[in-house]
Structure 1
Amino acid sequence: MGKSEVLARVATDLERGHTHLAQQRLASLAVNHPDDLDLRLRRAAVYRRVGDWTQAGRWGFLAEDAPEAELAAFERAYPSPVARLGALRLTREPPRGLGPRALDRYLGLAERARAERRVPQDDDSGLLTCFVVTGGLLLVALLLGVGLWTSVAFVLGKVF
């Protein structure tokens, strides 16, 4: 089924009050057209209609006139910039056709996500893990050697 046919069915579903079915149809289209801004805005409108501000903020994030309450709900649900950027499910950076406000919002999020990824980890758990694994392997090797020695001594003791 083509995109225009699915959108026609979405419109029919919404006229009948079948928002869940409309959400499913739009979700299937979004998988095949992840950077389509019109689909994102339609999806945000459906979520807005049912009162799901988090998802409305997620799918309306790239809208020029995205309501602040929805964007705040999206940010509360995905506190990490890396998680928010991933939740947008974009294949192109930045998406084409963004207005100036949406582009600034997107670029700001992308910059915060890059900064979050660069934060160094100050824990020494890697070194501790290395010592524990090495000690465990040495213990296994020691037990294997003792077992082998005991087995050989037992077999040789029985033979002679």
Structure 2
Amino acid sequence: MPEEFTHVDEEGDAQMVDVGDKTESERRAVARGQIRLSASTLAAIDADEVEKGDVLTTARIGAIQAVKHTWETVPMCHQIPITNVEVEFTVGDEAVEITVAVETVGKTGCEMEALEGVTTGLNVVWDMVKANEKDADGEYPTTAIEDIRVVEKTVER
């Protein structure tokens, strides 16, 4: 357990970490996650036949927007200069996987931005296909967003 918490001041109040004295460096973070869907929904996504439109393009835009706005939704995140965002999808037999890579040059990392991109991208997929996934009882027996994680973090000094 750390002796002092970086996001808490002497009075125990939440605070943003001061990165003012840190050296700028090239940073990259990659996050990944998936949404488990029915075979028919996966086939519709792959064939671009979902009634709401192009699922993966819409999810890609949502993921990029989320990366750019992470500092507005995660309370202790710094607003960082995003230099690049890459979003990749894989439509598999049981799920759609999304990988989001974020790059910045700055004093703090971009892991939260990559995670926000993945989470929002998956939420957009869910929103676009929820009508396809609902069963006769109004339930979503197959659908699950899962396994969201950071898979890479690099710092080039």
Whose strand fraction is larger, Structure 1's or Structure 2's?
Answer: 2
Q: TM-score, normalised by structure 2?
A: 0.19
Higher relative contact order, structure no. (Cα contacts within 8 Å, ≥ 6 residues apart): 2
Larger Rg: 1
